[in-house]
Each structure stands twice: as structure tokens, then as C-alpha cells.
Amino acid sequence: MNTPEGLKYASTDEWLRVEGNVATLGVSDYAQDQLSDVVFFEVTVAVGDEIQKGTIVGTIESVKAAADVTLPVSGKVIEINEELANSPELINSDPFGAAWMIKVELKDASEADSLMDATAYSAFCETRGH
């Protein structure tokens, strides 16, 4: 299971890449592996929306299940990966790269500090099996 260093991870299996006061959101390799083949992806928020921590910002459907994507921090949506809805299989093939979902301007940068680092998240995944 790939769990890159330098990212923050949520217990709901999203990753955040924090650069200054901007955070990029996606879902982890563990999440895509559990979901198996993704067939649909949709962002349910719009650029400019002020999002509260814990809000659902997207939906993923795979051949096995449907899953919500939750934003684990509060912030304002500044960019959406429009391409991902057309090629949702990128969530399987490149979860930490081309399959980024949205970028948000953080309201409170310290919120990201409470998320897990790569080591803690790997250990967390281990407890849940593969």
C-alpha cells in the first residue's frame, strides 16, 4: 500500500497536501484499493463555496460500493479537477497525482495538524485489514 510522506491523512481515507494556506484533497491508495474499480466520480461543491470541516464534497462509485469524499478541514473551494469526472479511473491508477479532487484555501491552517501523518495512517490501515 502506497502512503506518501509529506501528506496529511484523515480517518475517512482522504489525503491533504498542504502548501502555504492552500490544501489539495484526494483519496488514499488504501481507499481506492478497497473500492476496487471506480466507475463514477462527482464533486458536489462549487468554486467559491465556504466548506465546513467534515462536509461531503464528492461522491465516488465503484463496481462494489458508493463512497462519500469528506473534507477534513474548513476552507473555501478555489479549484476543482474537472477532468476527473471524465476519467474517474484515475482514482485507481494515480490516487495521489492526477486524481486530486479539489483545492481549498484553508480557514485555519492548524486544523490540518490534527490529521494523521503517513506513518500513523499506515498503522491505522493495518488495523483494518486489506
Partner 1 sequence: MTEPTLYELSSPGRSGVRFPKSDVPKYELPADLVRADLPFPELAEIDVVRHFTHLSAMNYSIDKGFYPLGSCTMKYNPKINEVTARLPGFAFTHPLQPLETIQGNLFLMYQLQEYLKEISGFAAISLQPAAGAQGEFTGVKIINAYHKSRGDLKRTRVLIPDSAHGTNPATCSMVGLEVVHLPSDARGNVDLVALHEICDDTVAGLMLTNPNTLGLFDENVSEVIEIVHAAGGLVYGDGANLNALLGIARPGDLGFDVMHFNLHKTFSTPHGGGGPGSGPVAVTSQLADFLPSPVVGIVEPGTEDLPPLYGFTTPTMSIGRVKTFYGQFGMLVRAYTYIRMNGSDGLRRISEFAVLNANYLLSKVRGKYTLPYNRTCMHEFVVEGVWPEVPDIHALDIAKRLMDYDFHPPTNYFPLIVHEALMIEPTETENKQTLDAFADALLKIAEEAHTDPELLKNAPHNTPVSRLDEVKAAKELVLCCWLPENE
Three cell numbers, residue 111: 486544523
Residue 1 within binding range of partner 1, rule CB under 8 A: no
Span from 20-28, 41-49, 62-70, 114-122 in contact with partner 1 (CB under 8 A): 62-70
Total residues interacting with partner 1, rule: CB under 8 A:
12
Hey, is 17 helix, strand or coil? strand
Give first-to-last CA distance, the chain, whole Å: 9
- State the DSSP H helix or E strand holding residue 39, giving kind and residue range, or none if neither: strand 38-43
Residue 40 within binding range of partner 1, rule CB under 8 A: yes
Q: Count helices and strands (H / E) in the chain.
A: 4, 9
Amino acid identity, residue 42? E
Beta carbon nearer to partner 1, 110 or 127: 127
Beta carbon nearer to partner 1, 49 or 61: 61
Interface positions with partner 1 (CB under 8 A): 37, 39-40, 61, 63-66, 89, 128-130
